[in-house]
Structure 1
């Protein structure tokens, strides 16, 4: 009997020590948040969002763009590494009283293929206009609205979140977004979601360039004096006349520093910009202010050897994509 007791006592002691250690060891706690609950939604479906002040919401169309969107006094224009996601939707008042609607009342978040969130511009317009929208909706009144989100240039945007109060809608945008126009779309992305950074452009056609629409009107070689100087011996000037159209609703300035033109000659050599912007038909410096929608004709020029032609003329604004004009036929 004594031998049995001696064997049991060490075992009991070991169990007691293990239990005491377990009692003093704090349990591991992992903090975090769960994904917000939301309703799966599709384009064209109508949802009532919000309990305190409900609104009916219908997402009508989603499209990619590299143009500029004007809302109020602001021009939204994508940089070279960006494109715009345009959201067209309808808001309807289901209540028996007036309800105000403006930009904070619905929140939009685009989620890219790397699960990065991109918030909307915190501005809405009456669709089809540049009018910044803030409206008291009468009972049963409906309004069509536009907002914009800056998203990465490369690839598609698969998800969109729409929120009002605690209500959340989740849209699967794969295959649902209107692609970019073929003229600006990278042909290696068959979905039409990726824009070119160097866009081939034609004469006599306006293209969006940050705060301006730009159009190449005429390209020629000349021996006339420009900026008060005739071409050096054995050289000639390539003169390029553009029309600039100001897109800022409140008007804005224009100057040589707004643009980054570059010429590549027939030998493949880069001819850098000389920092001069002239009036289209006079040897005078151009610059000043333009009202909303006003146009002005200006001229860039480059010195080339008399026996060398141009190949391409590129115009960019330093932050946005560039437009490339074929000038190889100019003699």
Structure 2
């Protein structure tokens, strides 16, 4: 878009507080035109705003903050934990970072909606992805599209030879890793995702699109693909979370070289929150689509939503952590 010549518009764009610290990344072409439209209080969709904010609050305070002590203990001293405990800690962090970050984004979208602004969705249930390409279409969407438009495409995108295409993809993901911090762990994290994206492209072109599944049903194939994708994502989170490369390597060894977890029992809270996240992931999309498309749906009634909001806030107050946990992405 053409640069704005209105200092007030530009200042509001770069300092818009709901999403300023951790996203979603808002582009001027999506935000500044909203400033030119007259807004009235009666046009504010309070129900939508409250739904987003309370959903984000539940993700952050109820789920992410309760997962934090489990994952922090494993990553603080990985050498003393066995295989089972290590996998629990890594999976706890996978859930923590998703609920922490998407919870912030949901609350930012909700607060912006109360002010009359529409921000883009930043997450679309990424943990139901059946391949790594789909994962990156669903995870931190505003950053993924930003990297695509301002790094991948200017580098040449998919134009040119296949080798050039893969090179551009790898450079983009390496720089995406470095965006989070100047650490070898982030370089490895970005490089692993870049390599996985390249391998998936090769698999899709050379194998997946040229063979039939035969006796393997599509549901079984998708289930296996989902399990492989989730296992890869969890393993790469190790490099994202660990303080040093040595700690990362110790955790990877614990995960895949069987080591007995002496005296360790899986926390009940972990199992409950794990179930909550994945049940919500698998059934949430269809449920929200039904609410969106069915005007007479029970859950669209204001009094039903008010009851659900009250229950959600009560559960957050009852089971939320007493100590305040900063949002993970504040450090980036």
Q: TM-score, normalised by structure 2?
A: 0.22
Select the structure of larger CA radius of gyration.
Answer: 1
More strand by share: 1
Larger helix proportion, structure 1 or 2?
Answer: 2
- What is the TM-score of this pair, normalised by structure 1? 0.22
Higher RCO (CA 8 Å, separation ≥ 6 residues): 2
